[in-house]
Each structure stands twice: as structure tokens, then as C-alpha cells.
Chains A and B, each alone.
Chain A
Amino acid sequence: ISWWGGVQMGPPDPILGVSEAYKRDTNPKKMNLGVGAYRDDQGKPFVLSCVRKAEAVITAKQMDKEYLAIGGLGEFTKSCAQLALGNDNEVLKSGRNITVQTISGTGSLRIGANFLSRFHGPRDVYLPKPSWGNHTPIFRDAGMQLKAYRYYDPSTCGFDFKGALDDISKIPEQSVIMLHACAHNPTGVDPRPEQWKEISDIVKKRNLLVFFDMAYQGFASGDIDRDAWAVRYFIEQGHNILLSQSFAKNMGLYGERVGGFTVVCNDAEEAKRVESQLKILIRPIYSNPPMNGARIAATILNTPDLRSLWLEEVHGMANRIIKMREELVAGLKKEGSTHNWQHVTDQIGMFCFTGLKPEQVERLTKEFSVYMTKDGRISMAGVTSGNVGYLANGIHAVTK
């Protein structure tokens, strides 16, 4: 007999399930639009040149492999915070932030959730509806309860601004509100600056604790400062935010697990206390973070010509996505679709909430071998100039 007889089979991961099914399909025209990883115009994974160059620089230095500090590589955490907040940010000057290196975005959110659970419980966390599928289990595992505020409007495939403000105005004081800094996942729908301003006001009024998830800085518009606008605006407005950053997408460092978690505090003294507690949280999970990816990221951010190269390449990735959006809309028009597909170009970042219903998604998969998640989300990264026409044809066929 086994200790584990009662252990149930865990449910298959919805997104991974898409990739598995795609792999099994023998149709030569098949498309994987589930994957949340950038692909080039040949549909291949893309290793940035600035990354390869940084790796060569690092290899030549022949550094040792001694443990990093619990909070990670100093050069990385410093430049990570600067990237998000802007070099001249008053927060950085006064040292009132603590930024620790984390295991990419997930690890960052998890540390944040654990921190909140220990020092800000019992408070609820409010997620936009919908949000990244992993947000809920992360916070739940950390012991927090999840609630939602209206965000996506299916009737317009856009932002439900009124609904969001309405819901936020009713959130109990001191609750945590999760905001996607840019390129909302899964909808691609971001508030406009004027809308962000009103959100900031109402959040302030309700005395809510803001937790920004920024997984796509640079990747959304192609401009790192523009993508960080909301984060910087909120800080300017006096919100002491929590911030999760990922370098998985914008540096293509997915498997190296590079991320940062920041707490903006009242002053440097508070930041020191918070830092000490973050270390206590991190140590029993993985002791200290992995070096490789952070070293690559730090080298890129701190070497002027690598940094310029990176900005160009990020711009390039964002532009290709934007171009695919435009070509998809043009393609649909060409097919004779009479639907309004403006949301495809209005939405921003890697994902597009097409507005397709589950039955239409199923047909698209069965008849055209186009793989995507049931909610109608497609990863624009999986679209290329070679297959965008086929995609337009398929979408038109199931929606006409």
C-alpha cells in the first residue's frame, strides 16, 4: 500500500494543454496561439543579440559561482528598480524602496503575496476581471482571499472604465488592488492616461494598497518609459506601491527566471525593516536566487551599447506584434468580414482577446488547427507574415 493512494490527479494546465494538443496535430498549417513567448517572423524562439553579447562578456570574465545574497545580485536589483521607476526617481534617491531579485514574475508575485499575508493580513486582494490565470492560485496559496473588480467589457472588447471605477469605489479600505502596469494579460486592454489618473484618485480615496504587475515593460508599446508611465504616475501621486517585474519577455530570458520585487516605503529606515522581513520569507523557499539571468540582465542594463541594442530589439519585437495586429485586421477585411475588429489593433502587448466565443474557438481548432485558449485569447507572438492570412481566413470562417 502507498501513502499516496488518496492523491488525485491534478487538473491539466489549461495553457499547457493547448501546447500539448498542438504538438499532436499533424496538419502542416497548424498554429500555436496559446504560447505566451515571443516568436520571430519565422515562428522561432528569439534569443536577443544583446543577450548573446552579454553572455560572451560574462563568460570572458570567468567569475566564481558563490552564493548570491538572499536579496540577489546588487547590480541587478539596482538597475531593475531604475528601469521601472526612472533613473531620477525621488524614491531611488531617498533609498525608500527595497528591491529584491526574484524567480521571474511568478516568484516576485509569490514573495509579495507571502509578505502581504504576513504583514497586511487579513485583507483581500482585488484582481481585474479577467486576470492572468496564475494570480489567483498564487495569492490563495499564500493565504489571501481573492475578489474582483470589473475590467474587461466583452461587448466592446475594451476597457469597462465605468464598471472599474464603480467597483473600485466600493472596495473596503486598506484592501490590496492588483493593477497590470501595461499590456494587460489576457485582454491586451489598457487604460488610457486620463483613465489611469481617475483610477489613481479613487484608489487614493479608498486608501487601497496598490500592487503593480509589470511583466511587459518595453514589450507593450516598444518604449520602456511609456510602458512604465502608470507605475511612475502612481508613485508621484503618493501611492507607496508594491511592484513585480519580469524580464522573461522583454529580454527573452524566460527560462533563466529573472525578476524583481519592489516595496516603496515611507523612508529608508522602513525599507530596511521590510528588507529584513523579505529575506526571512525568501530563505526557507530557495535560500538565494539564481545568478545567470540576473547577471545577463544587469550587464545589458549597465553597459551603454548593450542597453541601446536592447532597446532597439525590444522595439523590434513590439513592432512586429503591432504589425501582425494590423495585418490581421486587414486580412479579415479582405476576407469580407463585416465585424468590427478594431479591438485587435487597439489592444496592446502579446495577447489579443479576439471576442471569439468558446464554440467558435472550438471550430477554429478542429477545422483549422489553430490552437488558442477557450476564452478567445490569442498570442500575437505566434502570428507571422506567413500565417496571418490563414488565420484571418479561419477567423472569418467561424464568425461570418
Chain B
Amino acid sequence: IATMSVFCEVPQAAPVAVFKLSQDFNNDQFPKKVNLGVGAYRTDECQPWVLPVVKKVEKIIVHDDRLNHEYLPILGLPEFRSSASKIALGDDSPAIQENRVGAVQCLGGTGALKMGAEFLRRFYNGNNNTKTPVYVSAPTWENHNAVFANAGFEDIRSYKYWDAEKRGLDFAGFLGDLESCPEHSIFVLHACAHNPTGTDPTHEQWKQIAETMMKRNLFVFFDSAYQGFASGSLDKDAWAVRYFVSMDFEMLCAQSFSKNFGLYNERVGNLTVVARDADNLKRILSQMEMIVRTTWSNPPSQGARIVAITLNSPELFTDWKDNVKTMADRVLLMRAQLKAKLQALGTPGTWDHITEQIGMFSFTGLNPKQVEYMVKERHVYLMTSGRINMCGLTTKNIDYVAESIHEAVTKVQ
């Protein structure tokens, strides 16, 4: 009976670009190859870095005989959820004191976005209103679209964000979209260190964004994947999220601890829910449980334990902040050096955006042809969009990369 397969019609799907890039890099034999693709931190030796505080805490866990591998509650480890939300909103957040902040432990930032999207599809703007427009920035992290589409939203649009010509934020365009979009639209905002452009609104701009969103009854969904990692300061990087909370928005904030804790593969995420009051919060969380139950039942315990132990110990918390600053500082150094070298080479164009942009990524401004040149001729791997991961730069390869960019820009139009 196996002759006629049920799956003979299943088409080959295209590979996920960012992972294919890494695969191609891995297969490349060129000795000077550089990987400026996937968003993971690298040391100056171009190695992955397990945070010292994480190593410390893992030792604590493995030696604690009281710990077992029992199921976590559906919504996750309570100590993790509350301390993670505090990180985003601030210890002294009035919303937390008013008991209207809750959270769902999720599988990474992706999982948190997924849970939020599923909840919104079911309960926002009516019941199961799949026609509610969801706005993501142009450009945005390539998985945003799929997360919301898979949750059932039929109308995913982009809001103006990146101005390729001036290599900065198209603020007028952004505001224009906020003014003209359908009421009740959902907006996915990057809390800091916008992926992929590295370009964030200023505080003044955030204030205007908030004012307009409040006026037009738009829904705020923050994606916070780089808190601490962007500027080196947890509080600085959370400014926008906290401002919106202070402006009384009911909102969702998807948090990832992949980058700032270096816990990429343990899938540590938190969906922070800011509700109008405790009663609303209770009902929201009860519905979140139903969604979790049919997706993964309950979340994985290891990563959440590491984060919870760290955040709840003053000494370890300080260690962690130091580790985060180490990563952020190295990125800032690479930015400064790359810009300096391009300027020294006399590479055509302005390169201020390299140091003005923030976080792991930089939108270089290289066009697809120039990117192709970088990859094929120079074995420097970056995304077709021109996005580079600053973490892939080291003091040892930065000259080669700067020269490569110089060549790409001068040889290829």
C-alpha cells in the first residue's frame, strides 16, 4: 500500500535564509572567511561565549539535589516569570505594584510572540477577528510575518521604517502610517536595537508614536530581544517599553533571553502582559493556559531556572549585568573601528550610521549585488539585505572586512 503516498504532493520548501547562510559559510573552505550572518554573540576569538554567570549557575543547579525534572506549571516557572517581567518594566513599576502585570514563560522570543499572536487572534478586536491588520516594520525580523500569519491573521502589512536613502529612520513615514492605518490595528514595535536596521526612534519620537497610537486605538506589541545588549544598560534599553506602560497602554511585550543571557538553545522567553487591572489579567492568563496546553503543554525548565536564579540573587544579578556590558562594549568597539577603517580607506559614502546604529546588527546599505560580491568573491557572509552581525567582527578580521566592503562599494554598482 506504500506505493501511493499521502505525501507525494508535498513540495520542497525553501530553506530559511539566515540558516542557509550559516550552512554555506560552514561549507566554505576559504581560510579568511567571515560569518556576518546569524545573530549570535561571538568573542574576539570569534567563538561562542557561555556567560561566566551562566556557568556558575549551571554548577549550582547540577549540584542541588533538591531539584528534579518535574513538569513546570503551564504558564512556567513563577520565579522566572515575575523576575523577567521586572527586568522589562523595572523593579518599581507601578503597573506591577497594581497587580496588573502577568507573564507566560515561552520558548524563546519566538514562542512569546507566538503566544501573544494566538491570544490576540482569538480575543482582540472581537473574537477570532483574523482580519485585524497586523503591522510590522519595513524591514523587520523575517520571522515576524510567519508568526502572525500562522496564528491566523490574514492581513499583515508593513509600516514605513527604514529610509534607505538617508540610511536612517523614516519617522514621517512611520507616523503617517500610524495616522492612516485602520483603527485597532496591531503594531509590532522593536523595544530597542531594531532588527535588522539597528536604528531606533529617539525618546521624543517614541513619545509621538505613543501619543498617536493612543489617539488611534492601536494595539502595542513590543518585541524585546536585546535588552541590555543594545546600550549595555538594562534600564536604558527598556525606556520605550516603560514609557508606554506609564502612558497606560494595555500591551504585550515578548522578551527573549537568548542574546542577553547567551541562552540561545535553551529557549528562554517571557510574554509580559500589562492589563488594565487584576481581574482582566486573571482572565487573560487563564486563556493563555489553554493556548499553551495545545502547543507545548508546559515550557522547558533548564533555561528558566538559570535566569530565575541569576535575577533573584543580588550577587549573580551584578555578575550578569557585567557580562552583558562586556558583550555590548565589544560590539560598540567593533562599530567604532569599522567606521574608522572605512573612513581611512576613503570608502565612498558616509559611514556614520555604523556607530549611530545600535545593537547586534547594522544595515550597511550594501545592495544585493554588492552583497553577492562580498559573499562570492570575498567569502564574507552577510544577508542579502546588507545586514551584518557586528559580533562576527573581530580585531583580527576587521581589516579584511573593511577592505571587502571598500571593494564591493567601489567595484559593484
Contacts and interface: CB of A to CB of B under 8 A. Distances in A.
Interface residues of A, number: 78
B296 A106 contact: yes
A165 interface: no
A293 B300 contact: yes
Given A62-B50, A107-B295, A288-B267, A4 B250 contact: yes
Interface stretch (A7-15, A183-191, A219-227, A383-391): A7-15
Nearest to B23: A69
Contact of B1 (A69, A119, A204, A277): A204
Given A272-B12, A290-B266, A238 B1 contact: yes
Task: List the 10 closest pairs (A to B, CB-CB), nearest first.
Answer: A286-B107, A10-B286, A2-B276, A255-B301, A64-B48, A284-B146, A106-B297, A291-B265, A292-B302, A276-B13
Interface of B: 1-3, 5-16, 19, 38, 40, 47-50, 54-55, 58-59, 62, 68-72, 74, 106-108, 110-111, 114, 123-125, 127, 143, 146-147, 149-150, 219, 250, 258, 262-267, 275-277, 280, 282-284, 286-287, 289-290, 293-303
Given A1-B276, A207-B1, A279-B16, A285 B266 contact: no
B58 A59 contact: yes
Given A119-B10, A285-B150, A70 B280 contact: no
Nearest to A142: B294
B392 to A, nearest CB: 13
Contacts of B299: 257
Interface string A252-275: 111111000001011000101110
A270 B5 contact: yes
A286 B143 CA distance: 10
B68 A66 contact: no
Contacts of B74: 13, 16
16 contacts: A4-B276, A7-B284, A10-B289, A13-B293, A47-B68, A62-B50, A65-B266, A66-B40, A66-B265, A120-B6, A134-B293, A141-B295, A256-B301, A287-B111, A291-B266, A293-B302
A320 interface: no
A248 to B, nearest CB: 8
- Which of A103, A252, A265 is most buried by chain B, counting CB atoms within 10 A of its CB? A103
A111 to B, nearest CB: 10
Contacts of A266: 2-3, 5, 7-8
Given A274-B7, A286-B114, A287-B108, A67 B298 contact: no
Interface in A34-57: 37, 45-47, 51, 55-56
A51 B69 contact: yes
A104 B72 CA distance: 13
A273 B293 contact: no
A16 B8 CA distance: 42
Contacts of B16: 70, 279, 283
